[in-house]
Structure 1
Amino acid sequence: MTIACILFDCDGTLVDSEMLASRAYQQLFSQFGVELDTQQVHDRYKGMKVYDILASLAATHSVLPSPHELEPAFRENLTRLMEEELTVIDGVEELISSIAVPIGVVSNGPREKIQHSMRLTGLDRWFGEHLYSAFDYQCWKPDPLLLIKACEALNVAPADTILVDDSVSGVLAGINAGMKVWYFAEIPDPGLARRPEVHVFTKMSELPDLWRSAGMDVVK
């Protein structure tokens, strides 16, 4: 099976930032007397656009500032937490160093945040400038356009591309783009896990053997 490229989501797939984001929301809303449960925030909003998360939380808890007004403080909180605590997902470095085809990052986050995550963790040495942000195209997963644009930039066909993503929105985007989707999840969405084009896995170290078993010649 011909595979020309592998695209990775960033947060929760390459870097362990999802709970840091939940804590950044918690810190922000505590200023308004709202105590958020970080696990509940993570479970409910994983993979969603920050603006939409802020809008939902503000409406739920009757917080008056608009999402546009709240977002800079959230970003500031998250940047500080990332600089103090951001780590690479276990097994990622070994995995990407073994890959023999072009790779890229596709994220709903701003380009500056993706770049910062790459630099903080040292992953920039593998991905270089192959970083694709939803903000650059004004389309956010589950819209498949971000993934399609990344494929165009890399001069590959979506059908010849693997997507590795940990979120429902990302998996849906990959399905809608016609990609081979590898869903990184301990507890996957049951409906998505049953889709024939979706492959569920729980550890990055599993992927080389899983790809070989699927006839995908992508590792050295």
Structure 2
Amino acid sequence: MAKIKKQCVIFDCEGTLVDSERLCCQVLQQLLVEIGVCLRLDEVMQHFDGGKSADILNQLLIATCTHADVDVLEVEYRRRTEALFKSELQPMPDAKSLLEELKKQRIDMCIASNAPREKTAEILKITGLLPYFENHIYSGFDANSWKPDPDLIHYCAMNMGYRLDDCIYVDDTVQGVTAGVLAGVKTFHLQGDRLLHDCGFAEVEPLQQLTDLKQFLELPK
């Protein structure tokens, strides 16, 4: 396997560095139960694609032929996920060890998130990952562009002071992976133990776990 010499790793946050997807889907599942829709957790996760929460809620309502006020549901979804994150959110397995290794090797890192910067910073703080990214959190609201559009990835590279060729991008969602590919950076798809969404790009490298990224990188001795 040919190693890749890169100087900057751009990470998605939720579902990539922090184990938030399961908690988000638990909240979605409960909200649906309260309006009379019973879905298994894995069925809810099929619709969780990294997009905006309102869009995900709308997709679930359409898929279940249910009529409800998406705006009201979204406000409650945000309130409940915020509370659940504070009590239960954890880093992804091996996230800290990977970030520590990259820091040790002086490889720069940043976050590219569709979420507001303040929310991402709070999530990283809860999970103990904020010190790795405190001054390098970039939001779709900063770039005025949200994944799957590639501009946020371009924005990250520019602000970190690197060419796109010097960067790689890691994301767990199809929307995020699409942004990386369209941006022209080497992109990795964190799939975990099961693949719910095929990213559809042959050039994207799949990762079963975060530490698999190290086998692709040419790390200094």
Q: TM-score, normalised by structure 1?
A: 0.87
Q: Which moved more, 1:33-42 or 1:87-96?
A: 33-42
Alpha-carbon distance between aligned partners in 2 of 1:63 and 1:84, rounded to the nearest angstrom: 31
Distance 1:57 1:190 in 2: 19
Counterpart amino acid of 2:46?
A: D
**Among 49, 74, 77, the residue aligned to 2:77:** 74
Relative distance call for 1:116 and 1:191 in structure 2 (3 A) is closer
- The secondary structure found in structure 2 opposite 1:142 is coil
Over aligned residue pairs, what C-alpha RMSD do you find?
A: 2.0
Aligned to 2:177: 171
Amino acid at match of 1:81: L
SS of 1:105's equivalent in the other structure is strand
Please report how far the alpha carbon of residue 176 of structure 1 lies from its aligned counterpart in structure 2 after TM superposition.
Answer: 0.4
What SS does the aligned partner of 1:44 have?
coil
1:1-220 alignment, distance < 5 Å: 2-59=5-62, 60-65=64-69, 67-99=70-102, 100-185=106-191, 186-188=193-195, 190=198, 192=200, 195-196=202-203, 198-212=204-218, 217=219
State the alpha-carbon separation in 1 of the partners of residues 134 and 8 from structure 2: 15
- Partners in 2 of 1:21 and 1:191 — Cα distance? 21
**Residue identity matched to 1:80:** A
Whole-Å Cα distance in 1 between the matches of residues 72 and 92 of structure 2?
31
In structure 2, what is the Cα distance between the partners aligned to 1:2 and 1:176?
21
5+ residue gaps, structure 1? none
TM-score by length of 2: 0.87
Counterpart amino acid of 1:57?
L
1:174 and 1:61 map into 2 onto residues whose CA distance is: 33
Residues 140-195 of structure 1, C-alpha deviations (whole Å, 9 max, x = no match): 211111111111221222222110111111111100000011111144555636x2
SS in 2 for 1:192: coil
**What SS does structure 1 have at the residue aligned with 2:107?**
coil
Q: Which runs of 5+ in 2 are unaligned?
A: none
What letter corresponds to residue 170 of structure 1 in structure 2? G
Which has the larger displacement, 155-164 or 171-180? 155-164
